[in-house]
């Protein structure tokens, strides 16, 4: 069975559908939890699946350094290694090289860098990134690209975009013919519409199974990001999934789906869960706050996750304060559950042609804020 | 329904049976995982139950300081607070006061001390300990006692034992009449048979629902501990459960059951799990060791816990090295599973009159050591 994308319904430019892969279906719009180093932090993979996640993201940069792509391949691939049999998307390593590695050197060939773990030297290029993602056994492979931090001057953004497009062509070539696996191109061009358009054309000329919108959620702010999303998704093929990389907060996600995005990923729900922060339909709740110490009510009485079903805010507050691992376990579970419920709500709303009402209700519930203190 | 103990079978002086409580049955010999501050670290309570644990231990000292016993009572008691509906035994706080608190002052009345968390001043006495354990909703309450570190001179051990016996009488008086709940006396007397005998007589005169052997596993070594266990359990009533506090490693546990102990608790399986250490029928395995980096085999191919069923040693090694929370989650689960399997094996062996063969096999399998490296 090969990789394919089917659009089921649209509402405005918002879309719902599904991606078929040999490892199972990905319902879109989809949120992908991040399993950086072979684990979604604080979660058992069966719990991640229980939240409704159809696909995980793995980080090429982390996995190539530890435990190493060849080792993962010898052990049967990333799915088997981390006990996750549904689809996995891997990034190209390009973003993390720029944010984590030491002593980077960027050339036409690729990026040489030192591991942030042990200082060892490595090369990431379109060819090595494709090889590493193949060894990992990724279902959706990302082109190797360069992602400049914003703000940057337009000349630098343009040069970087053109380099990424040359690397996209080399990625396509190196990826080869791999039935059932997909290669996604990544649109760059910063916040400049003309560059975004040129990037989209370059990618379409090469041809990919899906198209990502890269270079956003890197410090430009929500308004600038939505400004780009007002035009960028429409530059990409209608009949291919569109993936907005590294986004985001719940309101970023709703705004992105409204603008025609099909897939997203972000560390936020899991990272927040490890610092006592919960995301709920009423907004963000800091369980560390003393107001919860005697509160017998659940975090969200309408939520069916284990944290909300079985524990009080007082308990969550206690375990956050005491630094207990179960705090991160329960709050990560809740946050991922909330994110997936949000995606399911949007899929249903788009299918039923009521996305605008969904969005109004989403914002109204958040603006009403958390429940009154007792 | 009231608290009762039924002996089903004996084999030598080893015993198997069950304790009936309103919250469920405790199969003996029983191992109690430790849930210090309202959580068995790194575990969801349903996972603890899945390992086969019938009862947890909670620490009075930790819970009285944070979140506070009155607060736990207002929130419906410890069972509801931590989402564990089976029996809970709480210690008296006496042991942790001596090992953790600052600025202790011991008098006939009790111990005043400063919290290791915020420096606040507290009094633990037989009366306050009984009240705190009542507020927590503990099913099995422990007498407030003093536990001197060993080695100590016999005069000090004797004086401490006599103080503990006076405190035992005050604990019994303060506990009052609480159907369905049990109060356990604690034998002291160090490694001196005569003092152990005098302590047992004092406790039997007061009368308890169960009897603990205290003051062991405090640095005296296994040989000295077994020396005491050769006579101490026999000094306690046949028809009441005997609880050896704070023990221990798997071979300590087998040796204690052989000598007539019915209940034990220890942080070891959970603490080890958070430092990459696994306990298996073949002995201890350090997953941090590089020999596991490429090993596709499970930790123990005969074990049915999630860590052994779903992951390779290579994966466990990777997540231990990477400091991922799932390392502690999986290894704690494995260790608790192994401990409960060990208890189940002993219960079956005693019931079938083959404890000696069980013990021989237990030691032979451990002595053969871990599987050969690949």
Cβ–Cβ contacts within 10 Å for residue B267, how many?
16
pLDDT digits (tens, 9 = 90+) for B68-115: 999 999 999 999 999 999 999 999 999 998 888 778 899 999 999 999
Q: How far is B368 from chain A (nearest CA, A)?
A: 27
Which residues of A are less than 8 Å from B328 in CB distance?
Answer: 325
Encode pLDDT of A66-79 as tens digits. Answer: 999 999 999 999 99
For B109-148, what is each residue's pLDDT tens digit? 999 999 989 999 999 999 999 999 999 999 999 999 998 7
Tallying the residues shown for chain B, one arrives at 374
DSSP code string of B237-263: -TTS-EEETT--SHHHHHHHHHTT--E
> Is some CB atom of chain A closer than 8 A to the CB atom of B296?
yes
Q: Could you give phi then psi for residue A11, rounded to 5 degrees?
A: -145, 105
Q: Nearest by CB to B71, which of A294, A325, A328?
A: A294
Strand partners for A187: A213
Q: Give the pLDDT band of residue B9 (cuts 50, 70, 90).
A: very high
The pLDDT tens digits of the residues spanning B321-366 come to: 999 999 999 999 999 999 999 999 999 999 999 999 999 999 999 9
CA distances from B28 to B8, B111, B285 (A): 9, 33, 27
Strands B30-33 and B263-266: parallel
CB contact under 8 A, A83 and B310: yes
The verdict on pTM exceeding 0.90 is yes
Q: Is B42 on the interface with A (CB under 8 A)?
A: yes
pLDDT digits (tens, 9 = 90+) for A179-238: 999 999 999 999 999 999 999 999 999 999 999 999 999 889 999 999 999 999 999 999
Catalytic residue at B265? yes
Q: In DSSP terms, which residues pair with A25 in a beta bridge?
A: A20
Residue from A265, A295, A300, A370 carrying the catalytic annotation: A265
The helix/strand/coil state of B350 is: helix
Chain B residues inside the 8 Å CB shell of A293: 67, 71
Give the contacts of B293 (CB within 8 A, at least 6 positions apart). A67, A71, B314, B317, B318
Q: How close is the nearest chain A Cα to the Cα of B1, in Å? A: 26
Catalytic residue among B54, B265, B295, B300: B265
A328-347: pLDDT as tens digits: 999 999 999 999 999 999 99
* Contacts within 8 Å (CB) and 24+ apart, A300-303: A300/A334, A300/A338, A303/A334, A303/A337, A303/A338, A303/A341
A75 → closest Cβ in B74, B310, B314: B314
Cβ contact (<8 Å) for B66 and A322? yes
C-alpha distance from B263 to closest chain A C-alpha (Å): 26
The Cα–Cα gap between B135 and A79 comes to 48
Q: Is A314 on the interface with B (CB under 8 A)?
A: yes
| Per-residue pLDDT tens over the stretch A230-259 | 999 999 999 999 999 999 999 999 999 999
Q: Which residues of B touch A37 (CB under 8 A)?
A: 318-319, 322, 324
User: Edge-to-edge strand order for the sheet containing A56-58?
Assistant: A30-33, A263-266, A242-244, A210-213, A182-187, A140-142, A88-90, A56-58
CA angle A372, A286, A99 (to 5 degrees): 150
DSSP alpha helices (H): ranges in chain B? 45-50, 60-65, 69-74, 78-82, 94-100, 126-136, 154-175, 193-206, 222-229, 232-235, 250-258, 268-273, 306-310, 313-321, 325-351, 355-368
Beta bridge partners of A11: A14
Tokens 């009345």 — which residue? B109
Kindly state whether A103 is in contact with chain B, defined as any CB-CB distance less than 8 angstroms. Answer: no
Q: Dump pLDDT digits (tens) for A29-83.
A: 999 999 999 999 999 999 999 999 999 999 999 999 999 999 999 999 999 999 9
Distance (Å, rounded) from C-alpha A53 to C-alpha A344? 10
Q: Say how many CA atoms lie within 13 Å of B345 toward its Cβ.
A: 17
Average pLDDT (B313-317) is 98
Alpha-carbon gap, residue B185 to B198, rounded angstroms:
13
| CA–CA separation, B312 and B296 (whole Å) | 5
How far apart are alpha carbons A135 and A280 in whole angstroms?
38
CB B14 within 8 A of CB B253: no
Residues in chain A within 8 Å Cβ distance of B75: 294, 296, 312, 314-315
Q: Does residue B1 belong to the interface with chain A, where contact is any CB pair within 8 Å?
A: no
Report the residue from B42, B66, B326 with minimal CB separation from A318.
Answer: B66
- Side-chain half-sphere exposure of A284, counting CA atoms within 13 A: 13
User: Chain B closest CA to A297's CA: distance in Å?
Assistant: 10
Rg of chain B (C-alpha set):
20
Query: In angstroms, rounded to a whole number, what is the distance separating the alpha carbons of residues B270 and B268?
Result: 6
Using the Cβ of B227 and the Cβ atoms of chain A, whether some distance falls under 8 Å is answered with no
pLDDT(B287) > 70: yes
Q: Which residues pair with B141 in a beta bridge?
A: B90, B183
Q: What pLDDT, on the 0 to 100 scale, is given for residue B1?
A: 59
pLDDT digits (tens, 9 = 90+) for A147-157: 877 788 999 99
- Rg over CA atoms, chain A: 20
**Is A91 an active-site residue?**
yes
> At CA B343, angle to CA B350 and CA B368, rounded to 5?
95
B61 touches chain A (CB under 8 A): no
- What is the pLDDT, as a whole number, of residue A1? 58
Q: Is A275 on the interface with B (CB under 8 A)?
A: no
Tell me the chain A residues in contact with residue B315 when contact means C-beta distances shorter than 8 Å: 38, 75, 81-83
When pLDDT is averaged across residues B163-192 and rounded to a whole number, the result is 97
Burial A328-365 (b: 16+ CB within 10 A, else e): bbbbbbbbbbbbbbbbebbbebbeeeebeebbeebeee
Choose among A66, A315, A321: nearest Cβ to B82. A315
């Amino acid at each position: 069975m090969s990789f394919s994308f089917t659009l089921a319904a649209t509402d405005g430019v918002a879309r719902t559908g599904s991606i078929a892969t040999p490892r199972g279906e990905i319902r879109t719009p989809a949120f992908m939890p991040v399993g950086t180093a072979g684990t979604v932090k604080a979660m058992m993979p069966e719990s991640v699946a229980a939240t409704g996640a159809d696909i995980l993201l793995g980080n090429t940069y982390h996995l190539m350094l530890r435990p190493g792509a060849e080792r993962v391949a010898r052990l049967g691939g990333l799915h088997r290694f981390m006990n996750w049999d549904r689809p996995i998307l891997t990034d190209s390593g390009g973003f993390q090289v720029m944010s984590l590695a030491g002593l980077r050197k960027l050339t036409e060939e690729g990026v040489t860098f030192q591991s942030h773990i042990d200082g060892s030297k490595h090369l990431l290029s379109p060819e090595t990134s494709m090889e590493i993602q193949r060894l990992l056994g990724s279902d959706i492979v990302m082109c190797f690209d360069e992602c400049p931090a914003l703000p940057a001057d337009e000349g630098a953004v343009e040069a970087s975009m053109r380099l990424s497009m040359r690397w996209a062509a080399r990625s396509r070539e190196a990826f080869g013919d791999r039935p059932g696996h997909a290669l996604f191109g990544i649109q760059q061009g910063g916040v400049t519409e003309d560059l975004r358009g040129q990037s989209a054309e370059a990618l379409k000329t090469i041809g990919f199974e899906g198209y990502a919108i890269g270079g956003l959620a890197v410090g430009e702010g929500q308004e600038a990001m939505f400004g780009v999303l007002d035009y960028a998704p429409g530059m990409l093929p209608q009949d291919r999934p569109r993936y907005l990389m590294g986004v985001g907060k719940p309101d970023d996600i709703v705004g992105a789906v409204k603008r025609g995005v099909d897939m997203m990923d972000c560390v936020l729900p899991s990272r927040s869960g490890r610092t006592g922060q919960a995301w709920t339909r009423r907004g963000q709740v800091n369980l560390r706050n003393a107001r919860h110490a005697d509160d017998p009510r659940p975090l969200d009485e309408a939520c069916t996750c284990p944290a909300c079903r079985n524990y009080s805010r007082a308990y969550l507050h206690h375990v956050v304060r005491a630094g207990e691992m179960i705090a991160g376990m329960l709050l990560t579970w809740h946050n991922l559950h909330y994110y997936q419920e949000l995606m399911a709500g949007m899929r249903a709303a788009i299918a039923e042609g009521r996305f605008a009402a969904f969005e109004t209700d989403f914002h109204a519930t958040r603006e009403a804020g958390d429940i009154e203190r007792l």
